[in-house]
Amino acid sequence: KNEVEQSPQNLTAQEGEFITINCSYSVGISALHWLQQHPGGGIVSLFMLSSGKKKHGRLIATINIQEKHSSLHITASHPRDSAVYICAVPPHNAGNMLTFGGGTRLMVKP
């Protein structure tokens, strides 16, 4: 069993739809990262959170440490949001020794 599970693996949405991507993990962590990877390969850090909720523009990330679950929401989705979204966790005191989920491939159609 993977330590970090994401769902769904693939997601197709129409422009404007509200999108939710889920991440569950089995290890104790101090924080969780949400990352975005475009087809060219580069990865952008979207959020690092250890509790509650963070918002940046149309993106919202939530985490429930007790339930070991995090969600990434995209409001008013746009074709430029098409990318792979990855959650990653460092076990306690493990620095950047991240364990990555398998990613969610999102395509937003105009």
Query: Using the rule CB under 8 A, is 25 a contact of other proteins?
Result: no
Helix %, strand %, coil % for the chain, to 5?
5, 55, 40
Considering the complex, state which of residue 12 and residue 45 has its C-beta at the smaller distance from other proteins: 45
CA distances from 18 to 71, 85, 96 (A): 13, 15, 31
The two tokens of residue 9 are: 């693996």
Number of residues that bind other proteins (CB under 8 A): 22
CB-wise, 21 or 88, nearer to other proteins? 88
Under 8 Å between Cβ of 84 and 37:
yes
Q: Which of residues 37-96 bind other proteins (CB under 8 A)?
A: 40-45, 48, 86, 88, 94-96
- H/E stretch holding 97 reads none
Told to check if 98 binds other proteins by CB under 8 A, we report: yes
Q: Kindly list the residues in this chain that would bind other proteins in the complex (CB under 8 A).
A: 31, 33, 35, 40-45, 48, 86, 88, 94-103
